[in-house]
Amino acid sequence: MNVLIVYAHPEPTSFNAALVARAKAVLRAAGHMVTVSDLYADGFDPEAGRHDFSTIADADRFHYQSEQALAAREEAFVAEIAREQARVAAADLLVLQFPLWWGGPPAILKGWFERVLAYGFAYVDGRRFDTGVFKGRRALLSVTTGGTTARFGPHGVYGEIEKVLWQTQRLTLQYMGYSVEEPFVAYGAPRVGDEGRAAYLDEFARRVVEAAAKPVERRTDEALLESVPADAWARTC
């Protein structure tokens, strides 16, 4: 199995880093191939713009999906986007590793979604959810929180974790067709002490190896954009 871990934390000694290191070790020991996109270490640029492309669909008006569609047709994404897209395309299992900041992923990961999971690469009209481009593959969120389990419970002040993570799970991963595993959440990671964090590491190791062992169906779609008109995203205002 090919596993891609997209890791979004700026501190190499963080607990998020420890989770990534454990996942790499156990997955490779189980015979899987593992690639890590370390967004902060790589200096990934989260800001979308014309700098994403070496082509121009419309010089007078910047419409992101139109530019993405042309770049997908002409293989004209800049190098860091093309690199990440190649990693996504090769992955049977996609793992997103991040701390929960202000109720969502860090901005650098949100920017990765917007720039890498482009129109023409990760989705097109008529290819979403049950017909998504990555249908048959799997994805797993691994999240750390500062808040305790109680704060994310049915009566917790932050709301149930399923609702907090819904946007990423449903409107990003499932939108592209992934079968999404139950998220792994290390609640109150700064508060649980060494013993608690060790238990989290062991549980995550079990979860990620279990996810990687599940069957996937790899599909190739070299004609993804053939049914999409070149002006599919044209606007008059």
Bridge partners for 139 per DSSP? 94, 180
What are the CA-CA distances from residue 156 to residues 102, 104, 160, 161 (Å)? 16, 17, 7, 10
Beta-carbon neighbour count of residue 54 at 10 Å?
A: 12
Q: What is the chain's pLDDT, residue by residue, as a tens digit (237 residues)?
A: 999 999 999 999 999 999 999 999 999 999 999 999 999 999 999 999 999 999 999 999 999 999 999 999 999 999 999 999 999 999 999 999 999 999 999 999 999 999 999 999 999 998 999 999 999 999 999 999 999 999 998 889 999 999 999 999 999 999 999 999 999 999 999 999 999 999 999 999 999 999 999 999 987 766 787 766 666 666 554
What is the pLDDT at residue 237?
47
Q: Which residue has the tokens 């979403």?
A: 128
Q: Dihedral angle at the C-alpha atoms of 116, 121, 123, 126, nearest 10 degrees? A: 170
Question: By CB neighbour count within 10 A (0-12 exposed, 13-18 middle, 19+ buried), where does 68 fall?
Answer: buried
Dihedral over Cα of 219, 220, 226, 229: its sign: positive
Q: Integer distance in angstroms from the first to the last C-alpha of the chain?
A: 46
What is the pLDDT at residue 234?
62
Residue type present at position 92: D
What is the pLDDT at residue 224?
81
